[in-house]
Amino acid sequence: MPAYIVGNITVTDPEAYKEYAAKAPETIYGHGGKYLVRGGAFEVLEGDWQPDRLVVLEFPDAETLKTWYYSDAYQAILPIRQKNSKGSIVFVDGFNPPQKLE
């Protein structure tokens, strides 16, 4: 079952953050992950949540997602993101709908 990372990030130092943004994709793709959302326009339809920069990553499964997150390659660049942004990151399991019975 796919697994996802959902993040709401506020970049506090855009110039310094560029290094993280340039290096992160290689670590993600190297573990079978892909971006579904990477910034972009949004519209709040309900509630008062005002996200800044939304990021959604998809991985084949939770184990692969966690292997990526805790990998040496990602841990080496994580401090760059943490130093130059603030926000929230969550892991969430995907959903496999029941198969239609014939």
Instruction: List the chain domain ranges.
Output: 1-42+71-89
End-to-end CA distance of the chain: 22
Question: How many whole angstroms separate alpha carbon 101 and alpha carbon 64?
Answer: 30
Query: Taking the model in full, what pTM does it have?
Result: 0.88
Q: pLDDT tens for residues 5-53?
A: 999 999 999 999 999 999 999 999 999 999 999 998 999 999 999 899 9
Quick one: CA torsion of 4, 8, 13, 19, rounded to 10 degrees? Answer: 10
**What number does CATH give the domain 1-42+71-89?**
3.30.70.100
A 10 A CB-CB count for 3 gives 19
pLDDT at 100 over 80: no
